[in-house]
Amino acid sequence: MDGARSFDAYRMSDELWERMSYCLPEYKTRRKGGRPRADLRRVADAIFYRMRTGCQWKAIPPELAPGSTAHAYFQQWAESGVFDLLWSAALFEYDDLVGLDWKWQSVDGAMTKAPLGGAKTGKNPTDRGKLGTKRSVITDGSGIPTGLTVAGANVHDLRLLEDTIDDCHRRSPDPAADVTENICLDKGYDSKQIRELVEGVFGYVSHIRSRGEEQKRSNRKKARRWVVERTHGWLNRFRAILIRWEKKVENHIAGLQLACTYYTLCRAGVFG
């Protein structure tokens, strides 16, 4: 197979690049005689390639962009909020084209290994105390991710829930005034404190299965919150997210935001 074609499937689509280009900071035109600026389209391709394959930055094919250049721009764009803005814009576009299902929402967390450590990592009690990080994601009724937060693997879901919902409210379109918002949580959230938070503070109608009820439902149809579990599985297809190699938590979150953007626009039918 031709080398150029072997990584075409991992290039950023034209539709995604078009939307991302509007979110980039303005760059001043360099004076004549200076070093030319990198081709930002190729840089975006290189970043996307790295996120999809999980390769090291230096292993990015040189036909896309030098790994050091792609890494430098990625960190710059993560710090300036490019990927955060891109995901927010994707949610508004999805809401306009399809419509976010605010009636039924779900929250769940997922563990990620973090061998190099860094901010918001901790000893994973389910992985022999190895360093890990936890992401908490909230989705609409069809599994579109609308908010997330990241913490150490040893942080209880209770502490992440409020930040996750806050992130959703910060970035997402407002639901219609007549929509009753329900939130589905698994048995790990079964506590009086959680119910007071989601019902009293955020105004949700909570659906939290007790541990006994979870066992009774094991052979029955899937709970509504299965969509958030599917979303976590889908996000793991971005191999750079499956294992966190980024020491800077801002870089890890930026990768998650890019994956959420891609997933949202795919489901909106913007590209296949």
Confirm whether 58 is domain-assigned. Answer: yes
Regarding whether 70 and 151 lie in a shared domain, the answer is: no
Pair 173, 207 in one domain: yes
Q: What is the CATH number for 156?
A: 3.30.420.10
180, part of any domain? yes
pTM of the model: 0.91
Same structural domain for residues 130 and 240?
Answer: yes
What pLDDT is attached to residue 1? 40
Q: Residue 42 belongs to what domain range?
A: 3-79
- 263 assigned to some structural domain: no
User: Could you tell me if residue 20 is inside a domain?
Assistant: yes
Q: Number of folded domains in the chain? A: 2
Q: Is residue 26 part of a domain?
A: yes
Same domain, 26 and 158: no
Q: Do residues 208 and 159 share a domain?
A: yes
Domain presence at residue 120: yes
**Residue 257 forms part of a structural domain:** no
Are both 122 and 201 inside the same structural domain?
yes
Contact criterion met (CB below 8 Å) for 108 and 101? no
Residues 70 and 139 in one domain: no
Write down the pLDDT at residue 29.
67
* 106 and 177 co-located in one domain: yes
Q: Residue 38 in contact with residue 65, Cβ under 8 Å?
A: yes
Read off φ and ψ for residue 77, nearest 5 degrees.
-70, -35
What angle (nearest 5°) sits at the alpha carbon of residue 235, between those of residues 134 and 110?
25
Q: Clarify whether residues 110 and 44 are in a common domain.
A: no
Residue 127's identity, in one-letter code, is D
Same-domain check for residues 195 and 72: no
pLDDT at 221: 60
Based on the fold, state whether residues 51 and 109 are members of the same structural domain: no
Do residues 231 and 104 share a domain? yes
The pLDDT tens digits along the chain (272 residues) read 444 456 777 889 999 999 999 999 987 766 665 566 789 999 999 999 999 999 999 999 999 999 999 999 999 999 999 999 999 999 999 999 999 999 999 999 999 999 999 999 999 888 888 999 999 999 999 999 999 999 999 998 888 999 999 999 999 999 998 999 999 999 889 899 999 999 999 999 999 877 656 555 555 566 678 999 999 999 999 999 999 999 999 999 999 999 999 999 999 999 86
Handedness of CA 218, 220, 224, 230 (dihedral sign): positive
Looking at the domain assignment, is residue 50 inside a domain?
A: yes
